[in-house]
Amino acid sequence: MLSLKARRTLYTVLLSVGIAIVALFIFRTFFYFPSTVYGESMAPTLEDQNKIIISRIGEINRFDEVVFHAPDQDASYVKRVIGVPGDTIEYKNDVLYVNGKKHREPYLKEMKEAMQGDALFTNNFKLRDVIGEDTIPDGYLFVMGDNRRNSKDSRMFGLIPQDSVIGEVKFRYYPFPQIGWTN
Protein backbone atom coordinates (compact mmCIF):
# COMPACT_ATOMS: atom_id res chain seq x y z
CA MET A 1 0.00 0.00 0.00
CA LEU A 2 1.18 3.50 -0.84
CA SER A 3 2.06 5.93 1.87
CA LEU A 4 -0.03 9.06 2.28
CA LYS A 5 2.76 11.16 0.73
CA ALA A 6 3.03 8.82 -2.29
CA ARG A 7 -0.76 8.86 -2.80
CA ARG A 8 -0.81 12.66 -2.71
CA THR A 9 2.03 12.83 -5.20
CA LEU A 10 0.31 10.33 -7.51
CA TYR A 11 -2.98 12.25 -7.20
CA THR A 12 -1.21 15.54 -8.03
CA VAL A 13 0.51 14.03 -11.07
CA LEU A 14 -2.70 12.42 -12.38
CA LEU A 15 -4.67 15.63 -11.81
CA SER A 16 -1.99 17.68 -13.61
CA VAL A 17 -1.96 15.29 -16.57
CA GLY A 18 -5.76 15.29 -16.70
CA ILE A 19 -5.92 19.10 -16.66
CA ALA A 20 -3.24 19.28 -19.37
CA ILE A 21 -5.19 16.85 -21.59
CA VAL A 22 -8.44 18.80 -21.15
CA ALA A 23 -6.63 22.11 -21.83
CA LEU A 24 -5.02 20.66 -24.96
CA PHE A 25 -8.39 19.35 -26.18
CA ILE A 26 -10.03 22.76 -25.65
CA PHE A 27 -7.08 24.59 -27.27
CA ARG A 28 -7.10 22.31 -30.31
CA THR A 29 -10.88 22.28 -30.70
CA PHE A 30 -11.51 26.00 -30.37
CA PHE A 31 -8.26 27.85 -31.13
CA TYR A 32 -5.37 26.26 -33.06
CA PHE A 33 -4.64 22.87 -34.60
CA PRO A 34 -1.98 21.26 -36.83
CA SER A 35 -2.58 20.09 -40.39
CA THR A 36 -0.71 18.94 -43.48
CA VAL A 37 -0.79 20.50 -46.95
CA TYR A 38 -1.55 18.04 -49.75
CA GLY A 39 -0.81 19.08 -53.32
CA GLU A 40 1.00 21.90 -55.07
CA SER A 41 -1.86 24.39 -55.62
CA MET A 42 -0.38 26.89 -53.14
CA ALA A 43 3.26 26.51 -54.23
CA PRO A 44 5.66 28.08 -53.57
CA THR A 45 3.94 29.67 -50.56
CA LEU A 46 2.89 26.29 -49.17
CA GLU A 47 4.07 23.04 -50.71
CA ASP A 48 3.04 19.40 -50.60
CA GLN A 49 3.59 17.84 -47.15
CA ASN A 50 4.24 21.17 -45.39
CA LYS A 51 3.07 21.03 -41.78
CA ILE A 52 1.02 24.04 -40.73
CA ILE A 53 -0.85 25.49 -37.77
CA ILE A 54 -4.38 26.71 -38.43
CA SER A 55 -6.16 29.31 -36.30
CA ARG A 56 -9.90 29.00 -35.74
CA ILE A 57 -10.09 32.48 -34.21
CA GLY A 58 -10.04 35.88 -35.83
CA GLU A 59 -11.55 37.49 -38.88
CA ILE A 60 -10.78 36.28 -42.41
CA ASN A 61 -9.50 39.05 -44.68
CA ARG A 62 -8.52 39.43 -48.30
CA PHE A 63 -5.19 37.67 -49.08
CA ASP A 64 -5.32 35.41 -46.00
CA GLU A 65 -4.44 31.76 -46.58
CA VAL A 66 -7.40 29.67 -45.42
CA VAL A 67 -8.36 26.03 -45.04
CA PHE A 68 -11.97 25.21 -45.91
CA HIS A 69 -14.25 22.27 -46.61
CA ALA A 70 -14.03 21.56 -50.35
CA PRO A 71 -17.34 22.21 -52.10
CA ASP A 72 -16.85 19.39 -54.59
CA GLN A 73 -15.51 16.49 -52.50
CA ASP A 74 -15.04 15.20 -48.97
CA ALA A 75 -11.74 16.97 -48.34
CA SER A 76 -10.24 20.25 -47.21
CA TYR A 77 -8.48 22.75 -49.46
CA VAL A 78 -5.98 25.47 -48.63
CA LYS A 79 -6.22 28.60 -50.81
CA ARG A 80 -5.76 32.36 -50.66
CA VAL A 81 -8.77 34.65 -50.19
CA ILE A 82 -8.85 37.00 -53.18
CA GLY A 83 -12.32 38.47 -52.71
CA VAL A 84 -14.62 39.11 -49.77
CA PRO A 85 -18.31 40.11 -49.71
CA GLY A 86 -18.97 43.24 -51.76
CA ASP A 87 -15.82 42.89 -53.90
CA THR A 88 -15.61 42.89 -57.68
CA ILE A 89 -12.73 40.84 -59.09
CA GLU A 90 -10.99 41.06 -62.45
CA TYR A 91 -7.76 39.68 -63.84
CA LYS A 92 -6.35 41.45 -66.86
CA ASN A 93 -2.86 40.89 -68.32
CA ASP A 94 -1.67 39.14 -65.14
CA VAL A 95 -2.82 41.98 -62.89
CA LEU A 96 -5.43 41.60 -60.15
CA TYR A 97 -8.06 44.31 -59.83
CA VAL A 98 -10.26 44.34 -56.74
CA ASN A 99 -13.05 46.92 -56.80
CA GLY A 100 -11.35 48.52 -59.80
CA LYS A 101 -8.03 49.02 -57.98
CA LYS A 102 -4.81 47.30 -59.00
CA HIS A 103 -3.37 44.99 -56.31
CA ARG A 104 0.18 43.70 -56.06
CA GLU A 105 0.60 39.99 -55.36
CA PRO A 106 4.21 39.58 -54.16
CA TYR A 107 3.55 35.93 -53.26
CA LEU A 108 3.30 35.18 -57.03
CA LYS A 109 6.65 36.74 -57.97
CA GLU A 110 8.69 33.52 -57.84
CA MET A 111 6.21 31.55 -59.98
CA LYS A 112 5.85 34.35 -62.54
CA GLU A 113 9.63 34.66 -62.89
CA ALA A 114 9.94 30.90 -63.43
CA MET A 115 7.56 31.00 -66.40
CA GLN A 116 9.01 30.96 -69.88
CA GLY A 117 7.73 33.13 -72.72
CA ASP A 118 4.86 35.55 -72.85
CA ALA A 119 2.09 33.30 -71.47
CA LEU A 120 -0.11 34.68 -68.73
CA PHE A 121 0.36 33.17 -65.29
CA THR A 122 -3.29 33.91 -64.42
CA ASN A 123 -5.72 33.86 -67.32
CA ASN A 124 -7.92 36.91 -67.82
CA PHE A 125 -11.38 36.77 -66.26
CA LYS A 126 -14.06 38.88 -64.62
CA LEU A 127 -16.08 37.76 -61.63
CA ARG A 128 -19.24 37.82 -63.77
CA ASP A 129 -17.66 35.20 -66.09
CA VAL A 130 -17.15 32.86 -63.13
CA ILE A 131 -20.23 33.28 -60.92
CA GLY A 132 -22.66 35.20 -63.12
CA GLU A 133 -22.65 38.23 -60.81
CA ASP A 134 -20.55 41.40 -60.60
CA THR A 135 -19.99 41.37 -56.84
CA ILE A 136 -19.38 38.73 -54.21
CA PRO A 137 -22.57 38.35 -52.13
CA ASP A 138 -22.66 38.41 -48.33
CA GLY A 139 -21.52 35.18 -46.73
CA TYR A 140 -19.17 34.11 -49.54
CA LEU A 141 -15.48 34.29 -50.50
CA PHE A 142 -13.55 34.02 -53.77
CA VAL A 143 -10.40 31.91 -53.31
CA MET A 144 -7.47 31.02 -55.55
CA GLY A 145 -4.33 28.93 -55.22
CA ASP A 146 -0.97 30.69 -55.59
CA ASN A 147 0.05 28.15 -58.23
CA ARG A 148 -2.56 29.59 -60.59
CA ARG A 149 -1.88 27.18 -63.45
CA ASN A 150 -2.27 24.15 -61.19
CA SER A 151 -5.07 25.05 -58.79
CA LYS A 152 -8.66 23.93 -58.48
CA ASP A 153 -10.24 27.02 -56.95
CA SER A 154 -13.14 29.49 -57.23
CA ARG A 155 -12.50 29.84 -60.96
CA MET A 156 -13.69 26.22 -61.26
CA PHE A 157 -16.06 25.57 -58.36
CA GLY A 158 -17.30 29.11 -57.70
CA LEU A 159 -17.56 30.98 -54.43
CA ILE A 160 -17.17 29.25 -51.08
CA PRO A 161 -19.49 29.91 -48.13
CA GLN A 162 -17.71 31.75 -45.32
CA ASP A 163 -19.03 29.17 -42.88
CA SER A 164 -17.09 26.45 -44.76
CA VAL A 165 -13.81 28.06 -43.63
CA ILE A 166 -12.12 25.94 -40.98
CA GLY A 167 -9.46 28.52 -40.18
CA GLU A 168 -6.56 30.67 -41.29
CA VAL A 169 -3.06 29.30 -41.87
CA LYS A 170 -0.81 31.05 -39.35
CA PHE A 171 2.45 29.12 -39.09
CA ARG A 172 4.52 26.53 -40.97
CA TYR A 173 6.54 24.22 -38.72
CA TYR A 174 7.87 21.76 -41.31
CA PRO A 175 10.12 21.55 -43.28
CA PHE A 176 12.46 23.08 -40.73
CA PRO A 177 14.34 25.39 -43.15
CA GLN A 178 10.99 27.06 -43.99
CA ILE A 179 9.71 27.33 -40.43
CA GLY A 180 7.91 30.58 -39.69
CA TRP A 181 4.77 32.69 -39.77
CA THR A 182 2.76 32.79 -42.98
CA ASN A 183 1.46 35.95 -44.71
> Are 48 and 40 in contact, with CB atoms under 8 Å apart?
yes
Q: Is the peptide bond before 175 cis (omega within 30 degrees of 0)?
A: yes
The sign of the torsion formed by the CA atoms of 54, 60, 65, 71 equals positive
Q: Find the catalytic residue in 16, 35, 76, 79.
A: 79
Alpha helix positions (H), 31-162: 109-114, 127-131, 154-157
Residue of 5, 16, 35, 41 with catalytic role: 41
112: annotated active-site residue: no
Question: Does the annotation mark 101 as catalytic?
Answer: no
Residue 81: other Cβ atoms inside 10 A: 23
Q: Catalytic amino acids?
A: 41, 79
